[in-house]
Amino acid sequence: TQSVVISPGLLAIVEVLPANLALLFSGQIIDTTSASQQVRISNTGNASLAFRAITLNGANFILLAPAAVAACSATTVLAPTQNCTVAIAFKPIAVGASTGTLSFTTEIAATPVAVTLSGIGLPVPKAGLQLSSRALNFSAQTLGLPTDAQQVRVTNGGDANLVISKIEGNGDFGFRTNCPIAPDFLRSLNSCVIDITFRPVALDVRRGQITIISNAQFSAAELVANATPNVIALTGTGAAV
């Protein structure tokens, strides 16, 4: 609270909410805007109170027009008992902790009243795609006869829904799956399975693959370890009857 005697018997008093002069924003995904929080400035004295300046510092915070209440500005004059509001939102541009300051100066004092602002930027959620195996080898199999199925488990290890648009196979290999296909999706940390069989149509080594097309995003380390982390490589040998 700041106060000043305007003239004998007339006193301007500025009060600010929140009283601790701090706004804390919960974690917010980068490049998205949070719900606004408000700073309310009141004149609880019996003389008018004039603003001189309002300044927002911090690249991750923005001023918004408050809804259904009077907005404070550098030219605001508050009559006794009146108040105005500054609305602030958090829009992080980088992952991690961010701080800022809302400062306002009135005719009461040259030293601004400062409200500290803080929030944490969160990474954009990504869908993951982890396979229990990226290569299956089938033993020698009689031409024209299918093998028992081998199973590959598909897990969404990310924090966003995994949307599989298509699962494709080629070569002498067939598959069945309970994996959801778009518009259905696989939730974070959930799994589904692909059952793969081998039915050779020719002798000797046969090759094929299963490809899972989805919205999964792979890290640089995953791509270094495997250039095609969404592909299951398949081999088998066709044997004579």
Determine the pLDDT at residue 7: 40
Determine the pLDDT at residue 6: 43
Residues of the chain with pLDDT under 70: 1-10, 12, 109-110
Number of Cβ atoms within 10 Å of the Cβ of 49: 25
Determine the pLDDT at residue 113: 86
Determine the pLDDT at residue 10: 62
Determine the pLDDT at residue 12: 67
* The two three-digit tokens of residue 11, written as one number: 């006193």
CA distance to 9, 42, 77, 86, 155, per residue, from 80 (Å): 13, 9, 10, 19, 63
Contact between 115 and 21 (Cβ < 8 Å): yes
Determine the pLDDT at residue 2: 46
Determine the pLDDT at residue 109: 66
The dihedral sign for the CA sequence 154, 179, 151, 202: negative
Determine the pLDDT at residue 66: 80
Of the candidates 214, 200, 212, 208, the one whose C-alpha atom is nearest the C-alpha of residue 233 is 208
